[in-house]
Amino acid sequence: MCTKTFRLTLVFIAMQMFSYGQSEGMVHIKGARYIPLYGRDSTVVEVKDFKLDAYPVTNADYKEFVKKYPKWQKSKVKGLFADANYLRNWKSDLEYKDTENPKSPVTYVSWFAAKAYCECQGKRLPTMDEWEYAAMADENTKDARIKKSYNEQILAWYEASRSNENEIGQNPKNYWGVYDLHGLVWEWTSDFNSVLLSGESRKDNDKDNNLFCGSAALGATDLMNYAAFMRYAFRGSIKANYAIKNLGFRCAKDIDNTQ
């Protein structure tokens, strides 16, 4: 009986450690209803409470992932899931180039690879609405869109070359405790290829691809909307197997309200 009890205790401890590890490095984002950044007249959407990685996934993080899941290594990944640029800044399957910093965000990673990484951590990619909701906060305010200085800072970041060479965590954390949503690299979202809709409802079935060519800019009546439009247009211009120099990711996770 003692041996059995001891084994059960070990199993329980291991499960607790695994459960904790899934949320390690994440912050709790308290959801709300809000008008998304990509248009002043957009329909109000509801974002439920969720968890978000405090930092983007790094080269070091991704190295551990491809060690454990070899099918995502540079020489083994299928072209359907990643184009020829996949991990082009790595010199081998398990070694990035000397110019790469282990603490810099991993880039040249496709949406398929980012999605697989998050799922293997017991997480998922954030939705576009979740990402934008978290990103509209500055250091002290949940919604900093009304602050001209904050908007100008974001646009200045976008005008400069976005870089994957800087370490994570060098910019101040925002209200939620999240780092580097702006100023480091672009980031994948689960529904990155959503398109702006022409009707009153974001659930309309009629897609207007011309919105990316200029019509969407009509809704960019302030600096923050324009910055959000740049993000949205960028997301809409890429495909899931693209691997791009300045495109990384972080993971999200649902809140378990049953606990």
The H-or-E segment that residue 229 falls in is: helix 223-236
Tell me which of 149 and 49 has the higher pLDDT: 49
- Residue 93: what pLDDT? 97
- Residue 166: what pLDDT? 84
Structure tokens at 130: 């979740």
CATH number attached to the domain at 25-254: 3.90.1580.10
Cα gap 243→254, rounded to integer Å: 27
Q: Which of 41-45, 108-112, 223-227 has the highest mean pLDDT?
A: 108-112
Note the maximum CA span of the chain.
72
pLDDT in tens, 206-234: 433 333 333 333 344 455 666 777 787 78
Average pLDDT value for the chain: 79
Give residue limits of the domains in the chain: 25-254
Q: What pTM was estimated for this model as a whole?
A: 0.79
**CA distances for 230 relative to 5, 94, 105, 189, 246, angstroms:** 58, 34, 21, 15, 14
Percent of the chain residues past pLDDT 70, beyond the cut: 72
3-state secondary structure 108-141: CCCHHHHHHHHHHCCCECCCHHHHHHHHCCCCCC
Considering Cα of 240, then 241, then 245, then 249, what sign does the dihedral take? Answer: positive
Structure tokens at 168: 């994570």
Q: Is 203 a residue whose pLDDT tops 90?
A: no
Q: Is 239 a residue whose pLDDT tops 90?
A: yes
Q: Is 192 a residue whose pLDDT tops 50?
A: yes
Residues 6+ apart with CB under 8 A from 15: none
Q: Is 79 a residue whose pLDDT tops 60?
A: yes
* Banded model confidence at residue 51, pLDDT cuts 50, 70, 90: very high
The H-or-E segment that residue 9 falls in is: helix 2-23
Q: Is 177 a residue whose pLDDT tops 70?
A: yes
pLDDT in tens, 115-154: 999 999 999 999 999 999 999 999 999 998 888 888 888 8
